[in-house]
């Protein structure tokens, strides 16, 4: 069944007939390179993808909010007068945070919304930012709050913070400002960005999900961020910087002795060098040099494994199988790496269209042999950001 029809039918079965529905979509995102540096003032290079979350929306005449997700068959109900965190509301707390932040700006009424998506939850494709962006865009549109796309992204980031996830700006920015067939080169310190055509030619983006489940808040994400902040504090004693990614690699090597502990030093080293890899990768993609882009992706994964310690056995097994497929089939793969917060989640690979199905079969088999887990694969298309359908 078409997912849009599924969402509309699900809404009518759950909430009944009534006034005309409005239908919205928010995409997930995959980050091609530039990992764990959005909160360090670095450059990231994500794109929105066609996997995401759909929502059918209808206003109510009271102040009640009723939410239903077809993915988990879960109903959440609360009112505009009770927007504080409540453990029993689970995923609905993300929505409550978005609603409370929008309510500060303009009157909102009650509403009901049925959501359903094809984006794997907890896989590193930004399912929470996708959800936040869906509701922020829908409410901003319906109630004519008047936010810019960048303001919505910042609001969604704040909603994540309210729910205990100290995330950077990349995820809500990509979900909200993505453009079909383009990646976003985003400076996370200034929010300056450039839309760069994804000139992949005969190659495709293949996302592989480890199906090793982890949540962003409990995946030591916040711990890594604290370690970077400790490194930054030490460096600021000897050099005038606001963010780790203000440093060039040469400047980092000159001043890294100021970082007192080895672990924060490793985290900082990753951030500084990853920032420059991202610059090089975006330039290479612009020039159509997929070989150089691919080498940067592999170097990124190794740094995330060796210096940032966010890969884990399952994710590294999937990377290794993808990398070795490329070694054994020259020209079939231009780069592979983990994407997202890590500790599970997904890899992203650039694979020739004629090799895609063989890649999926052989990499999947090798991954299962090593882990006893079954990976899911998606040949991704690059999508627009959140929109009304």
Catalytic residues, by residue number, are 171
Residue 387, strand partner residues? 25
Q: Which residues of 126-163 are buried (b: 16+ CB within 10 A; e: fewer)?
A: bbbbbbbbbbbbbbbbbbebebeeeebbbbbbbbbebb
Find the radius of gyration of the CA atoms of the chain. Answer: 21
Number of H-type helices and E-type strands within the chain: 11, 13
Helix, strand, coil proportions of the chain in percent (round to 5)? 45, 20, 35
Q: Quick one: which H or E segment has residue 135?
A: helix 127-142
Q: What angle do CA 369, 370, 374 make, to 5 degrees?
A: 65
What is the side-by-side strand order in the sheet with 182-187?
43-44, 182-187, 193-197
Residue 293, strand partner residues? none
Q: How many CB atoms lie within 10 A of CB 113?
A: 25
The beta strand positions in the chain, using DSSP E, are 22-31, 43-44, 46-59, 64-69, 74-79, 111-117, 182-187, 193-197, 203-209, 333-339, 346-352, 376-380, 387-388
Closest CA relative to residue 29, chosen from 223, 182, 248, 163 = 182
Is residue 382 a contact partner of residue 47, using CB atoms and an 8 Å limit? yes
Residue 183, strand partner residues? 196
């Amino acid at each position: 069944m078409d997912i849009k029809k599924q969402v509309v039918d699900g809404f009518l079965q759950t909430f009944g007939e009534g006034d005309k529905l409005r239908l919205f979509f928010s995409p997930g995102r995959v980050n091609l390179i530039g990992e764990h540096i959005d909160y360090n003032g670095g450059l990231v290079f994500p794109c929105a993808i066609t996997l995401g979350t759909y929502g059918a929306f209808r206003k109510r005449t009271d102040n009640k909010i009723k939410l239903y997700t077809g993915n988990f068959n879960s109903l959440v109900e609360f009112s505009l007068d009770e927007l504080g965190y409540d453990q029993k509301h689970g995923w609905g707390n993300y929505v409550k945070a978005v609603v409370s932040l929008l309510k500060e700006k303009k009157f909102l009424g009650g509403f009901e919304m049925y959501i359903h998506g094809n984006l794997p939850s907890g896989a590193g494709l930004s399912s929470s930012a996708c959800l936040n962006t869906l509701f922020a865009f829908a409410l901003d549109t319906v109630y004519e709050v008047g936010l810019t796309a960048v303001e919505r992204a910042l609001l969604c980031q704040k909603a994540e913070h309210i729910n205990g996830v100290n995330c950077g700006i990349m995820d809500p920015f990509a979900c909200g400002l993505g453009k079909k067939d383009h990646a976003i080169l985003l400076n996370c310190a200034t929010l300056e960005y450039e839309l760069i055509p994804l000139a992949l030619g005969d190659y495709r983006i293949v996302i592989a999900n480890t199906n090793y489940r982890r949540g962003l808040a409990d995946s030591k994400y916040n711990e890594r961020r604290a370690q970077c902040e400790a490194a930054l504090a030490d460096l600021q004693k000897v050099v005038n910087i606001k963010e780790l990614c203000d440093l060039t690699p040469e400047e980092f090597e000159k001043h890294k002795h100021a970082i007192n502990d080895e672990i924060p030093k490793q985290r900082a080293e990753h951030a500084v060098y990853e920032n420059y890899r991202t610059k090089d990768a975006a330039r290479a993609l612009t020039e159509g040099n997929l070989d150089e882009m691919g080498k940067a992706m592999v170097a990124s994964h190794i740094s995330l494994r060796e210096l940032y310690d966010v890969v884990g056995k399952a994710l590294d097994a999937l990377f290794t199988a993808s990398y070795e497929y490329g070694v054994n089939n020259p020209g079939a793969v231009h780069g592979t790496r983990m994407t997202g917060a890590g500790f599970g989640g997904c890899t992203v690979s650039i694979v020739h269209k004629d090799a895609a199905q063989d890649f999926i079969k052989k990499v999947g088999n090798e991954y299962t042999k090593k882990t006893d887990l079954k990976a899911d694969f998606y040949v991704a298309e690059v999508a627009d950001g959140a929109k009304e359908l």
